[in-house]
Structure 1
Amino acid sequence: MREYLEVWDHVSNKQKKGWQIAALGNATIEAFKTDRYQRWKLLDPKTQIVVSVHYYTPVTTSLQKNAEKLGQYLHSQVRQVPADSDWWITFRSLLDEMVKQLTVATAGTLLGPAMLADGNQVLMSASLPPVYNRKQFIELQQYSIIDVDYLDELPNPIDAKAVIWR
């Protein structure tokens, strides 16, 4: 969440330097006014064909809560827990769920949802995979039709033209 906040000028330095999960979660909601996924499609103006898709994938409330639970596991146990204990089953289930949640949360390339500034100016920040042509990303935005959707979850399967971290 800190990575999302650090690139935006309208976010205070205090919020950018936060370390508590709940505080960072509140700061992202305050900064972006949403915790929904954003799909940013760039379409060819002549053919209306999708040429590129980018996502803002927030750190969901569920993932934040799970991260706080994981923090509780960092404290050492008073006694050793047997390997066949329900404690381990619960712990492994939490880790498995978090792997899935983190895979989604880190897939997006937009560091926060794109936002409109005064007039027609779009403010956005992206972290693009090294294999993606950054110059092409900038050029596409200048000469494309932009279609923006807010989603409750990431599509499955994800768009074929999506630029994501894998």
Structure 2
Amino acid sequence: MEAIKFFRGAANHLARGERLFARGKDDSEYYFYSALELRFGIESRYREYLENQKHVKEKKKQGWQIAVLGREVEQAFSGCKQEVNLRLVAGGFPVMLCKYTPVTPELKEVGERLGNYLHAPRDSDLRGLEQWSDFEQLLERGLALLRYACSGNLLGVPLRQRGAKQMNVYMSVHDDQRAVINEILERRIELVMEVSYAEPPQL
């Protein structure tokens, strides 16, 4: 058997979860596979936030429990649960808008509740239409919240350690954005960062 190419990362789990959810409308067994991808996606997004943080111990980056990962991310980012907008300005002109979109407390709760559906069901589970409707709504809500969490390109809250003169910012960028940043660095243009905070939108 050949190894299957399996694309990892929160955005890939989200894409698969959405496809499986759509199939679940006609065949309910796909809801369970969608739930698994959603659970993977939440865990992966937390890890993506942690993996570049040098002040976080490696062991803490390897966790898998949603509640534990949530606490680690909150501690790593000094308790910040807000959306962070970072505007890069060069030569007086804005050149890029970067955004940190958190795993919200509601999405964390959804991830924890998904455990109820990722074990063999008891005799009383999913017997009635109302129970299936609750499961469907949980998935739909979770996928929407994960879509928001994956929409930002900052892989963490911009932080500067006490006494440090530099601040490390980690982000995922497209090729055209990388070209802009490289041009700025090559020309040694002064780059100004304007940071603002906002509550995550009510989806």
What TM bracket, shorter-length normalisation? 0.7 to 0.9
% identical equivalent positions: 32
Match of 2:172 in 1: 127
2-structure distance, mates of 1:5, 1:12: 9
Match of 1:159 in 2: none
Match of 2:65 in 1: 20
**Cα drift, residue 72 of structure 1:** 1.2
Residue segments in structure 1 that go unaligned for 5+ positions in a row: 157-166
Q: Structure 1 151/128 Cα, relative in aligned 2: closer, same or farther at 3 Å? A: same
Match of 1:40 in 2: 86
Paired residues, number: 152
Match of 1:164 in 2: none
Match of 2:117 in 1: 73
TM-score normalised according to structure 2 size: 0.67
CA RMSD of aligned residues (A): 2.3
Q: Which moved more, 1:25-34 or 1:118-127?
A: 118-127
1-structure distance, mates of 2:182, 2:166: 14
Match of 1:151 in 2: 198
Greater relative contact order structure (CA < 8 Å, 6+ sep): 1
2-structure distance, mates of 1:154, 1:85: 31
**Cα drift, residue 154 of structure 1:** 4.9
CA contact (8 A) 1:42 1:140 kept: no
1-structure distance, mates of 2:67, 2:153: 23
2-structure distance, mates of 1:155, 1:140: 36
Are residues 1:105 and 2:149 paired?
yes
**Cα drift, residue 106 of structure 1:** 0.4
1-structure distance, mates of 2:159, 2:183: 19
2-structure distance, mates of 1:11, 1:50: 32
Q: 2:95 aligns with which of 48, 51, 56?
A: 51
Residue segments in structure 2 that go unaligned for 5+ positions in a row: 1-45
Are residues 1:8 and 2:53 paired?
yes
**Cα drift, residue 8 of structure 1:** 1.2
**Cα drift, residue 120 of structure 1:** 3.2
Q: Which moved more, 1:2-11 or 1:114-123?
A: 114-123
**Cα drift, residue 64 of structure 1:** 0.7
Question: Would you identify which runs of 4 or more consecutive aligned residues in structure 1 move more than 6 Å?
Answer: none
Q: Structure 1 150/144 Cα, relative in aligned 2: closer, same or farther at 3 Å? A: same
Letter in 1 for 2:111: A
